[in-house]
């Protein structure tokens, strides 16, 4: 809350007027609060100057003193405002009264020096008079000023910082600066050139890679068209044998790159389609197939009969107990299926299975799979419930006799 000056307004105004009146003997007035309220009252007045005023300050209160003093330089009256906050005042009261300083300054107008004091050292009369002298607009004395112009004898020569300009050193300095500026510019150009050259090389490598891929694609397309032309009725016996040899080599190399059953199935289909196309031709010579190196045969066998990887992400693993119980049955089913392959086998699904791509079929438990063909120990193919023909894991079904 703000300081209340209206309750004791006449007494406050009277004390202030007595101090500012030059002919009045009263030269100081002291103001404080009534108890813990914000009402300002007159704590006392006097004619003894700063020495008497300092004795009236209480270390347990917040007080405001207004005093008239004489300027030591000009002899004119000056007014000093002291905002006193004793060391014994609690912090809450200090914070509340800190907002009243501006209100009291507006009420006690005309102060030339304002002092914020907390201890007796801050209100020593000598210190206050020094501050008044410094704040005086006429800070001079006739006696001191006159002594300044007396003749003090010969004076020392005046120093100078002037230096004679050396043309050679100046040229060297300028040349050195231009040399380093030129060197920095050349270094920057070199870095830009290296960056541009690296980008150009990268573009050339990328262009060569694209051209190489396009050439390889064109060669594959040409080889594919040649295989179809060679497999046509107008082809000769030697061309058909060459196609069969190339197909086998491609199967061996592709088998070395992947061991997934679906890839094996696609390889077998290509081999079967090539054989079926070349078999009905009347002019085909029944000659033995060209011999394949043992290393290629071994690689083909390894690629063809390699165990398929675990289908961790394609289907859920069946319960362990049921897998152990059906282990021997699966072997019997496979043996039985190999004996009955090509006779329109049917099977009933034991678990649900979701196809990973278009080459597989999906089914739920108790669904029937018809037209089964045994292509591998772990993977068969047949017609699913939706009529789609594709592959499925053999251990997920049981044959129906």
Consecutive sets of 10 residues in the chain, 401 residues long: mean pLDDT of each? Answer: 84 90 90 88 90 88 91 86 89 86 88 88 88 73 52 63 74 78 90 94 93 92 87 56 64 49 64 55 42 45 46 44 42 47 75 91 92 86 91 91 70
Question: Is 34 within 8 Å of 49 (Cβ atoms)?
Answer: no
**Which residue is it, tokens 């809450």?**
92
How much is the pLDDT for 216?
Answer: 92
How much is the pLDDT for 295?
Answer: 45
In sequence order, the 6+-apart residues with CB closer than 8 A to the CB of 141 are 73
Q: How far is CA 224 from the centre of its chain?
A: 52
Decide the pairing of beta strands 345-349 and 397-400.
Answer: antiparallel
3-state DSSP assignment of residue 79? strand
pTM, two decimal places: 0.37
**Which residue is it, tokens 């068209």?**
225
How much is the pLDDT for 290?
Answer: 46
Listed as own residue / partner, the contacts of 326-333 with beta carbons closer than 8 Å and 24 or more positions apart are 326/350, 326/395, 326/398, 329/398, 330/394, 330/395, 333/394, 333/398, 333/399
How much is the pLDDT for 8?
Answer: 87
Question: Is 264 within 8 Å of 304 (Cβ atoms)?
Answer: yes
How much is the pLDDT for 245?
Answer: 67
């Amino acid at each position: 809350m703000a300081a209340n000056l209206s309750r004791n307004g006449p007494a406050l105004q009277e004390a202030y007027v007595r101090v500012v009146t030059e002919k009045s003997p009263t030269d100081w007035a002291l103001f404080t609060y009534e108890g813990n309220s914000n009402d300002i009252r007159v704590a006392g007045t006097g004619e003894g100057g700063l020495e008497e005023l300092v004795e009236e300050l209480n270390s347990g209160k917040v007080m405001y003193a207004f005093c008239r003093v004489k300027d030591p330089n000009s002899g004119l009256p000056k007014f000093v405002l002291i905002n006193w906050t004793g060391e014994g005042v609690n912090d809450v009261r200090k914070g509340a009264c800190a907002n009243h300083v501006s209100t009291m300054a507006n009420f006690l107008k005309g102060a030339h020096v304002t002092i914020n004091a907390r201890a007796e050292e801050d209100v020593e009369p000598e210190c206050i008079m020094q501050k008044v002298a410094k704040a005086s607009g006429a800070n001079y004395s006739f006696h001191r000023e006159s002594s300044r112009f007396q003749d003090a004898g010969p004076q020392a020569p005046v120093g100078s910082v002037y230096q004679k300009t050396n043309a050679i050193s100046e040229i060297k300095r300028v040349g050195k600066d231009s040399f380093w500026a030129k060197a920095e510019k050349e270094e920057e150009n070199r870095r830009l050139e290296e960056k541009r050259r690296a980008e150009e090389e990268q573009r050339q490598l990328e262009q060569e890679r694209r051209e190489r891929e396009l050439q390889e694609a064109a060669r594959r397309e040409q080889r594919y068209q040649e295989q179809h032309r060679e497999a046509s009725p107008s082809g000769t016996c030697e061309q058909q044998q060459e196609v069969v040899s190339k197909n086998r080599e491609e199967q061996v190399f592709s088998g070395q790159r992947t061991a997934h059953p679906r890839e094996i199935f696609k390889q077998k289909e290509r081999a079967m389609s090539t054989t079926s196309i070349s078999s009905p031709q009347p002019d085909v010579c029944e000659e033995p197939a060209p011999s394949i190196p043992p290393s290629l045969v071994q690689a083909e066998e390894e690629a063809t009969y390699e165990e398929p990887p675990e289908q961790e992400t394609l289907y859920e693993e069946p319960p362990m107990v049921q897998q152990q119980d059906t282990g021997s049955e699966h072997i019997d089913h496979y043996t039985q299926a190999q004996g009955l392959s090509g006779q329109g086998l049917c099977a009933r699904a034991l678990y649900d299975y979701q196809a990973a791509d278009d080459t597989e079929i999906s089914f739920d438990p108790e669904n029937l799979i018809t037209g089964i063909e045994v292509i591998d120990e772990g993977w068969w193919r047949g017609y699913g419930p939706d009529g789609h023909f594709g592959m499925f894991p053999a251990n997920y079904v049981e044959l129906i006799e």
